[in-house]
């Protein structure tokens, strides 16, 4: 347990979400173990005692997340309700509570996280990893909410908001992973796996996906190599399934929930590689639409009737899985003649008929373009609406 606690405390720092001194993570084994001492330990132990949980996390988000959450808490007193797919699926909403055990416990009985003065509290019922994943999701959801609010309603300080976007743009521009190490052709299964492992780490290191979300696959002959559901892209060793395209094996039972979409892309194209991340501004830009009288408003994620693009990249609707609104119905067509496709409120899929080097380059380039498009929108919004 102590090893897991320290591992996920470090990962919060490595992902740029917290400073080392701002993470307090505890886990229950025979006794309760903490990554360090803190005045909050008694309160968190009281909260944990009132819930059927195995681990609990209190962390102060690093910049810019702390500022973003403070702005949202001031704007939405009791709960924050982002509209992105990650929130719809995993968080539902993000409650706000005072720093009191009773209020925190009540919030965590119905939700996976709560914003409190000084930070965020999340928990895990089985492992500290769950607390880490939820914290990631809260940071992502609040970031998306903050910037969609600004674009749609002009809520926020222009200068501070622009500084955050500029810093992120500069971070993306500084990314220079060794793409030669991802270059194909791949002449063996081991080479495919090595390329997938590296592409996953590059995607995490470039902040193009959060926690265990996102996936990667590669087609070799009639087999699809695909990351398993719930796997972390920076820890894919032992977490890749090999699934026959013809469905002749049940090997895909642990594969990514987006296997049906990957499989249909491969069956209807010459693509060999697919990389899926949740780049923040691709998600934000996908959710910004001026058509206020649309009859499908509120169902954009499953039934958007508009033909929308970000540059030459289509923006589509679709849900995870193979249901009636599944991505398997919309993604293959969108990727037939495009280097990528953005799913409303969800993330970006990029493809290549060569290798994962090209798929990763496209992921990075499309997100960089999304940031530029948002910055142009901010400038227009600045002159069209009052700001605080």
CB 320 within 8 A of CB 262: no
The answer to whether residue 245 is domain-embedded is: yes
Q: Which of 124, 156, 188 is the last residue of a domain?
A: 156
Whether 118 and 203 share a structural domain? no
Domain hosting residue 32, numbered range: 2-156
C-alpha gyration radius of the chain: 21
How many beta carbons lie within 10 A of that of residue 96, not counting itself? 20
Whether 146 and 211 share a structural domain? no
The answer to whether residue 385 is domain-embedded is: no
The pLDDT, as a whole number, for residue 157 is 86
DSSP-assigned letters across all residues of 163-181 = HHHHHHHHHHHT----GGG
How many beta carbons lie within 10 A of that of residue 272, not counting itself? 22
First to last CA, the chain: 46
Whether 236 and 97 share a structural domain? no
The answer to whether residue 163 is domain-embedded is: no
Bridge partners, 312 (sequence order): none
The pLDDT, as a whole number, for residue 387 is 47
The answer to whether residue 136 is domain-embedded is: yes
Whether 112 and 179 share a structural domain? no
Whether 74 and 185 share a structural domain? no
Whether 306 and 226 share a structural domain? yes
With a CB cutoff of 8 Å and minimum separation 6, the contacts of 163 are none
Pair of tokens at residue 247: 């469905």
Whether 95 and 183 share a structural domain? no
The pLDDT, as a whole number, for residue 296 is 64
Q: Which residue has the tokens 């995870």?
A: 320
Which H helix or E strand runs over 114?
strand 113-116
| Cα distance between residue 296 and residue 262, in whole Å | 27
Cα 7 versus chain centre, distance: 20
**pLDDT per 10-residue tile (average), the chain, 388 residues:** 94 96 94 94 96 96 97 94 87 96 98 97 96 96 95 86 96 95 95 98 94 89 94 95 82 82 94 97 92 68 78 90 79 94 96 98 98 92 60
Q: Which of 126, 156, 186 is the last residue of a domain?
A: 156
Q: Return the CATH number at 65.
A: 3.40.225.10
The answer to whether residue 164 is domain-embedded is: no
pTM of the full predicted structure? Answer: 0.94
Whether 193 and 140 share a structural domain? no
Number of domains forming the structure of the chain: 2
The pLDDT, as a whole number, for residue 388 is 45
Whether 229 and 337 share a structural domain? yes
Pair of tokens at residue 190: 């081991």
| Cα distance between residue 263 and residue 226, in whole Å | 10
The answer to whether residue 314 is domain-embedded is: yes
The answer to whether residue 191 is domain-embedded is: yes
Whether 76 and 128 share a structural domain? yes
Q: Are strands 113-116 and 223-227 parallel, antiparallel or unpaired?
A: unpaired
Query: What are the tens digits of pLDDT across the range 121-145?
Result: 999 999 999 999 999 999 999 999 9
The pLDDT, as a whole number, for residue 376 is 93
| Cα distance between residue 80 and residue 78, in whole Å | 7
Whether 109 and 201 share a structural domain? no
Whether 145 and 186 share a structural domain? no
The answer to whether residue 388 is domain-embedded is: no
| Cα distance between residue 209 and residue 135, in whole Å | 13
């Amino acid at each position: 347990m102590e090893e897991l606690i320290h591992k996920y405390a470090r990962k919060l720092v490595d992902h740029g979400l917290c400073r080392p001194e701002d993470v307090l993570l505890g886990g229950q084994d025979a006794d309760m173990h903490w990554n360090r001492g803190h005045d909050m330990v008694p309160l968190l132990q009281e909260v944990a005692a009132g819930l059927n949980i195995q681990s609990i996390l209190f962390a102060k988000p690093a910049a810019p997340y702390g500022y973003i959450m403070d702005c949202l808490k001031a704007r939405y007193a009791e709960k924050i309700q982002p509209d992105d797919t990650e929130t719809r699926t995993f968080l539902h909403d993000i409650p706000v509570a005072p720093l009191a055990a009773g209020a925190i416990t009540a919030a965590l009985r119905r939700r996976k996280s709560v914003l409190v003065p000084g930070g965020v509290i999340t928990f895990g019922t089985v492992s500290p990893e769950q607390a880490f994943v939820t914290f990631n999701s809260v940071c992502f959801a609040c970031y998306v909410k903050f910037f969609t609010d600004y674009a749609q309603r002009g809520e926020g300080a222009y200068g501070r908001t622009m500084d955050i976007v500029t810093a992120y743009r500069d971070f993306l521009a500084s990314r220079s992973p060794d793409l030669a190490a991802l270059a194909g052709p791949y002449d063996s299964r081991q080479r495919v796996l090595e390329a997938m492992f590296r592409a996953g780490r590059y995607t995490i290191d470039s902040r193009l996906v959060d926690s265990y979300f996102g996936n990667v696959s590669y087609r070799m002959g009639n087999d699809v190599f695909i990351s398993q559901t719930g796997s972390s892209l920076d820890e894919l060793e032992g977490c890749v399934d090999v699934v026959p395209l013809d469905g002749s094996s049940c090997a895909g039972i642990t594969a990514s929930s987006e296997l049906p979409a990957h499989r249909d892309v491969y069956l209807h194209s010459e693509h060999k590689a697919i990389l899926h991340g949740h780049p923040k501004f691709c998600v934000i830009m996908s959710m910004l639409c001026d058509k206020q009288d649309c009859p499908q408003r509120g169902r954009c994620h499953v039934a958007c009737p508009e033909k929308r693009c970000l540059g030459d990249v289509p923006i589509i609707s679709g849900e995870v899985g193979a249901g009636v609104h599944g991505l398997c119905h919309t993604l293959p067509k969108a990727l037939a003649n495009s280097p990528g496709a953005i799913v409303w409120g969800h993330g970006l899929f990029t493809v290549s008929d060569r290798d994962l080097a090209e798929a990763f380059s496209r992921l990075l380039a499309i997100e960089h373009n999304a940031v530029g498009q948002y910055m142009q929108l901010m400038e227009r919004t600045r002159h069209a609406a009052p700001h605080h």
